[in-house]
Amino acid sequence: MKKSPWPTGKRIYVLVFLLTVIVRLISISELASEDPAFAYPIVDELTNVDQTRGFLADGPSHATPYWKPPGYPALLALVALGWQEIGAVGQGIPVSYAWTVKILQSLLDGATSILIVSIAAACCGTGAALLAGLLYSIAWMPIYFCGQLLDTTLFTFLIVLSVSLALSATRESRTLPWALVGVTIGLAALTRATALPVAGALALAAWFTSGSIPIRSGRATAVLAGCLVTLMPVFAVNMKIGQQPILISSNGGINFYIGNRTGDGIGADGLTSVAAGPRWDEILRKGSDIEGAAARSRHYYRLALDEIRAFPIQWIQKMVHKTAALFSAHDVPNNKNLIEEKNRTTTLQILAWLPGTSGPLIAMIIAGVLLCRRGLRQSDLPVVLVMAALALTALAFFVAGRYRVPILALGCIVAARGIVTWGVSLKSVVLYLLLLVGVHAIAVPDRALIESYCIDPVAIGYMYEQKQQPQQAAQWYHRSLEQHPDDVRALHNLGHLAQEAGRIEDALELFRSATEAAPDHSPSWNSLGALLVPIDSLQALSSFQHAVNINPRYTGAWINLGQLLEGKGELPKALDAYQRARLLEPKRFLATILEARVQLKLMSPRNAGRLLRRVDSGSLEPGVKALLETVERQWQQALEEPSETIQPPQVAPPDRTRERREEGEGEG
């Protein structure tokens, strides 16, 4: 008997896993040197990393009730336990940490490919299993997202795992395996809340299994119960600590509003997110008078439904637009510009010409659906129902690029079944070519959006600042001002660039423009005051007071206010400012050291010593460490000669550390 040249059995799993992981690691290795944001996360990536930092510092209670689902940041936090710290809030991360996370995501995607092979083998046979695995191993979008600090890879793995477990459960008579399906989809919902409808889809799949009505009802109930039990700890944290009745996260309402409101253009087209800045602030103002995260979320749902009822024709047009995007060969960009990302690496450019890119893959999926529409079997049901649930959820919110990835992953199974069933024939080739031309002909999103889209130019500019590339940073800030002349973040950051370049007059003008564009932007008042200290101390004092009045929890402004008051000899007021800063951030030891210095001037060496003992000198930056050494010498001098007046040292420069973090982005 002639031996088949094609791999079979376990060899398929090994081949697909290795190919999947190797391709992703090659892509990531290129991105490590070509992607300027590799270790400088922006927008949603930064939101995830900052939530991770919060979990490491404060535990699972950080930032409750949760704004975004905590599952992915929790995974990042587990990985980060191997590092003492992964940087300050709003800053870059260690390159070794970025590499570790992205390697882990590549391995996780390799596991997803194995699950796809397993599902395809159960549904369609060995040939389809090999084809499905190979398609996923070279799928462009999953490869791209393995190199990003986003939840896509984890979410896709959990979705495909839940389908795999559902198929296994259909072959058993017990109810317990269906509860495990529910637990898995619950974990997916903790990663991305849009997985909740998938629980209903898999419960429906359980209902259509063989057996009596009570048995099938028990299986469906087990799915829903397993999901609910998995969600309960997060709900309990939101209720007990966050004091809000939020099941997972509170961003659902505002995301629904973003995807269904009237208007067009970036952020109002039903496809793209809303960047931080004027557009995001405008949306936030619609719920600014609503107390409580849960109530605000419900408020945005109501706003969206009110607009749908008021403008039904426009909403229908938007839904047609979103449906077209769902089937389009063109991927809707999300945080970054996908064309720029592709052009950065040879690997991504090559992959864009292979069948795993979205156009060919979607054409094959549609062909598979058309071919198999009359042959739906129980083994196919979880795949089809989950794909439908994910597609409907994307349409209900917005069709950003990464929300198609789990659909494409399961679609590899459907595509492979179609290819194996039809084979290579004139009829199949003609159908595929027609579909391929059709999905490429869909002009959604339009080319201008694909080529120019970036969710937040200020975020990219700030990333370049962290990389010590001020010219590139300034270009992105000016790009934001071209879109929104009153973008206070861009004005504020350009002011700092001018200050660092020694152009003080330009910096003053930019900071003043920022305070005029947004009188309630406390960082601009703080920066203006810091620059005015040697020029006009009265105006500087007024600026710092504006900053703390607007935001009483603004630690840096309290420190700067305290230093100015200390320099003017108003020691009790300076002491109060430093104490406020210390209570707000006990581990920000600059305030503690400065408070100790004032205590020495007030002839209280005992209080100064108590404060100095709280300082962890090992965590200080060089300038702050030098200040600590000076104050400690003065303290020792005060203990030895308590009657001698302590000479005030030179006032430290205004504190701006950690005050220029990138602001959050309007999408969950």
Residues 208-245 have pLDDT tens digits of 998 899 999 999 999 999 999 999 999 999 999 999 99
E-strand ranges in 170-285 read none
CA contacts within 13 A on the Cβ side of 9: 2
- What would the mean pLDDT of 614-620 be, rounded to a whole number? 88
- What would the mean pLDDT of 632-643 be, rounded to a whole number? 83
Q: Cis before residue 360, ω within 30 degrees of 0? A: no
**283 or 650: whose pLDDT is higher?**
283
Structure tokens belonging to residue 489:
């973040």
CA dihedral in degrees (601, 602, 608, 609; nearest 10)?
A: 100
- Torsions phi, psi of 592, nearest 5? -65, -45
The dihedral region occupied by 518, where left means phi > 0, alpha psi between -120 and 50, and beta the remainder, is beta
With 70 as the cut, is the pLDDT of residue 651 above it?
A: no
Nearest-angstrom CA–CA distance, 285 and 352: 41
Judged by DSSP in three states, 494 sits in helix
Nearest-angstrom CA–CA distance, 422 and 347: 31
- The residue whose two tokens read 């007990």 is 240
Nearest-angstrom CA–CA distance, 297 and 242: 15
pLDDT at residue 496, rounded to an integer: 96
| Number of C-beta neighbours around residue 417 at 10 A | 26
Cα–Cα distances in angstroms (integers) from residue 432 to residues 136, 367, 372, 435, in the given order? 18, 6, 14, 5
Nearest-angstrom CA–CA distance, 245 and 240: 9
- What would the mean pLDDT of 94-106 be, rounded to a whole number? 98
Confidence of residue 453 (pLDDT cuts 50, 70, 90): confident
Burial of 495 (0-12, 13-18, 19+ CB in 10 A): buried
With 90 as the cut, is the pLDDT of residue 123 above it?
A: no
pLDDT at residue 255, rounded to an integer: 92
Burial of 163 (0-12, 13-18, 19+ CB in 10 A): buried
pLDDT at residue 449, rounded to an integer: 77
With 80 as the cut, is the pLDDT of residue 346 above it?
A: yes
Cα–Cα distances in angstroms (integers) from residue 482 to residues 39, 477, 490, 516, in the given order? 28, 9, 10, 18
With 60 as the cut, is the pLDDT of residue 345 above it?
A: yes
pLDDT over 70 percentage in the chain? 93
- The residue whose two tokens read 């200040």 is 627
The mean-pLDDT minimum among 82-86, 95-99, 340-344 falls in 340-344
Nearest 5°: the CA angle 250, 253, 254 is 95
The H-or-E segment that residue 194 falls in is none
Going by C-alpha positions, the residue among 93, 171, 13, 132 that lies closest to residue 414 is 132
Going by C-alpha positions, the residue among 587, 550, 581, 549 that lies closest to residue 563 is 581
What does the pLDDT look like over 556-603, one tens digit per residue? Answer: 999 999 999 999 999 999 999 999 999 999 988 999 999 999 999 999
pLDDT at residue 119, rounded to an integer: 95
- What would the mean pLDDT of 649-656 be, rounded to a whole number? 52
CA contacts within 13 A on the Cβ side of 394: 27
Structure tokens belonging to residue 368:
């598979």
- What would the mean pLDDT of 392-407 be, rounded to a whole number? 90
The answer to whether the CB of 599 falls within 8 A of the CB of 575 is yes
What does the pLDDT look like over 574-583, one tens digit per residue? Answer: 999 999 999 9
Residues contacting residue 97 through CB under 8 Å, at least 6 positions apart: 39, 79, 80, 83, 86
The overall pTM is greater than 0.75: yes
Going by C-alpha positions, the residue among 357, 332, 537, 363 that lies closest to residue 444 is 332
Q: What b/e readout covers 307-337, taking b as 16+ CB neighbours within 10 angstroms?
A: bbeeeeeebeebbebbbbbbbbbbbbbbbbb
Task: Pinpoint the alpha helices (H) of 286-404.
Answer: 293-310, 312-327, 338-344, 346-351, 358-372, 381-396
Q: What is the 3-state secondary structure (H, E, C) of 297-321?
A: HHHHHHHHHHHHHHCHHHHHHHHHH
Nearest-angstrom CA–CA distance, 226 and 177: 10
The answer to whether the CB of 295 falls within 8 A of the CB of 305 is no
Nearest 5°: the CA angle 121, 176, 195 is 70
With 90 as the cut, is the pLDDT of residue 523 above it?
A: yes
pLDDT at residue 650, rounded to an integer: 47
Nearest-angstrom CA–CA distance, 631 and 638: 10
The H-or-E segment that residue 664 falls in is none
- The residue whose two tokens read 């719920």 is 287
- Per the DSSP assignment, residues forming a β-bridge with 274 are 666
With 60 as the cut, is the pLDDT of residue 309 above it?
A: yes
With 50 as the cut, is the pLDDT of residue 661 above it?
A: no
The answer to whether the CB of 184 falls within 8 A of the CB of 160 is no
Distance of CA 455 to the CA centre of its chain: 12
The dihedral region occupied by 417, where left means phi > 0, alpha psi between -120 and 50, and beta the remainder, is alpha
Nearest-angstrom CA–CA distance, 618 and 496: 29
Structure tokens belonging to residue 420:
């194996």
Q: What b/e readout covers 529-544, taking b as 16+ CB neighbours within 10 angstroms?
A: bbbbbeeeeeebbebb
CA torsion sign for 635, 636, 638, 644 is: negative
CA dihedral in degrees (219, 225, 226, 229; nearest 10)?
A: -170
pLDDT over 90 percentage in the chain? 75
The mean-pLDDT minimum among 3-17, 54-68, 192-206, 214-228 falls in 3-17
| Number of C-beta neighbours around residue 146 at 10 A | 28
With 70 as the cut, is the pLDDT of residue 505 above it?
A: yes
Going by C-alpha positions, the residue among 81, 106, 133, 85 that lies closest to residue 31 is 106
Residues contacting residue 178 through CB under 8 Å, at least 6 positions apart: 166, 169, 206, 219, 220, 222, 223, 226
Average pLDDT, rounded, for the chain: 90
With 90 as the cut, is the pLDDT of residue 262 above it?
A: no
What does the pLDDT look like over 465-490, one tens digit per residue? Answer: 999 999 999 999 999 999 889 899 99
Burial of 58 (0-12, 13-18, 19+ CB in 10 A): exposed
Structure tokens belonging to residue 375:
């042959």
